[in-house]
Each structure stands twice: as C-alpha cells, then as structure tokens.
C-alpha cells in the first residue's frame, strides 16, 4: 500500500490553504482512473488494488475538503500530540461562554421575535467561531511547536461551535416545523 499522505495522494500541496475546486477535480480524475469498469478484464489482484486505491482516495478527499478535519490531519502529520477527543476540556472561561450560548439558544423559543432572535444567535455564533478559526489558520501557518499546540486547542474549541451549529439546526426544525 502506498505511503503517500492524503495531500500527496490527491497531488495537492501539503498545507492548510487549499483550492477546493481543484481538489474536487483531482478527486474526480483519480476516481475515474481506478473505476471498476476499467478493471473489468484485469486480474482479481488488480481489481482488489483498484478498490483499495479508490477507498483511499475517497478517505483523502473527505478529510481534506472539510477544514477542521484537514487541520487535524495536518497537525497529526506534523507529529503534534493530539489529545484524545474523549479527554475532558477544562478551559473554564471558554466553557462558561459555551453555557451562556446554550442558554441563549434555549431562550429563543420564548422570544417575542423568534426569527430575529434566531438570526441574531446565528450571527453571534458565526462571529465567535470565525474569530477562533482565523487564529487556528494563523497558528497552523506559523508552524512552530508552540503554535501547533495552540492550534490543537482552538481545534477543540471549534468542535464545540460545530455542536452548537447542529443545535441551531435542530432548533430551526422544531420552530418552523408547523
């Protein structure tokens, strides 16, 4: 099996900034090259390799197209010691803010102007997560052991915001269901 990393596999420069349309193109081209139809008359060994390659290309694409997964993968490539997702996060100030944001979401359904409150909440979440994302981007570019460590921390914070986005979607569904 190849030992190319996901960036190399899709013939992209290894780094956080990525040309997404180009990534999609590369993915399509490579997938076509290993399409089962092309191996209809090949040996079973070659067919198996093609299937494995196809799965690999797919994993690479799914990882690289999503910014948080891409960041995590890149940090892992750099040998950064990523704390397990199961590890407890103990930044009190950050978590207090998360509580407040959760409470804000809870209050939306009691607001006089539900649409307005929902919109304001979405804006607030987007602003905060964008600020952390910008930091993450800078720290990944800086690429020192200290900055990579801080990037890890921000990556974990962004996972909480991702969860909040899911909560907002759920809330939207429940509010506008009827």
Partner 1 sequence: MAYSEKVIDHYENPRNVGSLDKNDPSVATGMVGAPACGDVMKLQLKISDEGIIEDAKFKTYGCGSAIASSSLVTEWVKGKSIEEAGEIKNTAIAEELALPPVKIHCSILAEDAIKAAIDDYQTKQGK
Nearer to partner 1, 14 or 130 (CB): 130
CB 63 within 8 A of CB 13: no
CA nearest neighbour of 122 among 171, 66, 58: 171
Confirm or reject binding of residue 6 to partner 1 (CB under 8 A): no
Q: Binding mask 113-132 vs partner 1 (x if CB under 8 A, - otherwise)?
A: --------------------
Nearer to partner 1, 10 or 108 (CB): 108
Q: Binding mask 69-88 vs partner 1 (x if CB under 8 A, - otherwise)?
A: ----------------xxxx
**Cα–Cα dist 31/26, whole Å:** 8
Q: What is the DSSP string of 42-76?
A: S-HHHHHHHHHHHHHHHHHHHHHHSHHHHHHHHHH
Nearer to partner 1, 96 or 111 (CB): 96
Confirm or reject binding of residue 99 to partner 1 (CB under 8 A): yes
CA nearest neighbour of 98 among 51, 27, 167: 167
Q: Which whole-number Å values give the CA distances from 162 to 15, 44, 122, in the listed order?
A: 22, 43, 12
Confirm or reject binding of residue 143 to partner 1 (CB under 8 A): no
Angle at 98 between CA 18 and CA 123, to 5 degrees: 60
Half-sphere exposure of 68 (CA within 13 A, CB side): 15
Q: Binding mask 34-63 vs partner 1 (x if CB under 8 A, - otherwise)?
A: ------------------------------
**Cα–Cα dist 70/127, whole Å:** 21
CB of 83 to partner 1, least distance (A): 8
Number of residues located near partner 1, criterion CB under 8 A: 21
Among 22, 38, 141, 163, binds partner 1 (CB under 8 A): 163
Among 1, 21, 37, 90, binds partner 1 (CB under 8 A): 90
Which residues of the shown chain bind partner 1 in the complex (CB under 8 A)?
Answer: 85-92, 94-96, 98-99, 102, 156, 159-160, 162-164, 166
């Amino acid at each position: 099996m190849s030992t190319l990393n996901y960036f190399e596999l899709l013939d992209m420069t290894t780094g956080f900034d990525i040309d997404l349309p180009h990534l999609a193109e590369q993915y399509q081209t490579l997938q076509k090259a290993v399409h089962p139809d092309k191996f209809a008359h090949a040996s079973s060994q070659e067919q198996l390799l093609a299937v494995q390659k196809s799965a690999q290309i797919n994993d690479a694409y799914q990882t690289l197209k999503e910014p948080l997964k891409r960041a995590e993968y890149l940090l892992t490539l750099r040998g950064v010691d990523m704390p397990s997702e199961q590890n407890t996060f103990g930044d009190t100030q950050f978590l207090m803010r998360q509580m407040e944001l959760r409470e804000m979401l809870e209050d939306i359904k009691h607001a006089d102007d539900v649409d307005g409150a929902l919109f304001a909440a979405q804006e607030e979440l987007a602003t905060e997560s964008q600020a952390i994302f910008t930091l993450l981007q800078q720290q990944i570019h800086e690429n020192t052991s200290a900055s990579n460590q801080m990037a890890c921390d921000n990556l974990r914070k962004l996972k909480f915001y991702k969860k909040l986005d899911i909560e907002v979607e759920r809330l939207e569904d429940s509010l506008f269901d009827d």
